[in-house]
Amino acid sequence: MQMRAMVLEEFGGKLTLQTRPVPEPGYGEVLVQVIACGAGLTLESIRKGHLGGSTPRIMGHEYSGTIAALGVGVENWHEGDAVTGSFYLFCGNCIMCASGRETLCINNKGNIGAKIDGAFAEYIVVPARNLVRIPEGVALREAGIIADAIATPYHIARERARI
């Protein structure tokens, strides 16, 4: 099966529309059919190579969609579940993750759209632990930015400014 994706061929370059094979989820991963993907300032840092990773790369991390397939070992998720996910590829096991501070994960493996392919595509494969369930009644087209563009300033207001 094939999908369309916006691909960065080299750091500093432009994105090009390409046809790629739909990725398959591995152990502990899910395949998400992307409904929406936002675009923010972080993309420019990724495009320039400032967050590491390699090219070619499919960028995009502010996504929402529905689970299309489950990899082996995935529990508590079902095909059709509405999801978004974290930008950070956190481990879920270290002291920072255990305290709810996944953005400071000691074993961080990088970022979606920089280290692994992102959501400027019709499908994305992500670790199941990175997913967040979208509640019923929340529009998928609007939910993609919640995990980054909304959660980041909310976290700063709550944690730093104590608002």
3-state secondary structure of 148: helix
Q: What's the token pair of residue 117?
A: 């392919």
Domain assignment of residue 144, yes or no:
yes
pLDDT range class, residue 152, cuts 50, 70, 90: low
Show Cβ contacts of residue 152 under 8 Å, excluding neighbours closer than 6 positions: none
As for how many domains the chain has, the answer is 1
pLDDT range class, residue 158, cuts 50, 70, 90: low
Task: Give the DSSP H or E segment for 19.
Answer: strand 15-21
pTM of the full predicted structure?
0.88
| pLDDT tens digit sequence for 12-62 | 999 999 999 999 999 999 999 999 998 888 888 889 999 888 999 999 999
Positive or negative torsion for Cα 148, 111, 74, 69: positive
Instruction: Indicate which CATH number applies to the domain containing 148.
Output: 3.90.180.10
Domain assignment of residue 119, yes or no:
yes
Name the residue type at position 149: A
- 9-14-17-18 Cα dihedral, nearest 10 degrees: -10
Domain assignment of residue 49, yes or no:
yes
- List alpha helices for the chain, DSSP H: 42-47, 95-98, 140-143, 151-155
Contact 130, 86 (CB under 8 A): yes
pLDDT of residue 153: 54
| Domain with 68 in it | 2-87+113-160
Domain assignment of residue 65, yes or no:
yes
Domain assignment of residue 99, yes or no:
no
Domain assignment of residue 74, yes or no:
yes
Q: What's the token pair of residue 44?
A: 């420019």
Domain assignment of residue 102, yes or no:
no
Q: What's the token pair of residue 55?
A: 């090219």
Domain assignment of residue 95, yes or no:
no
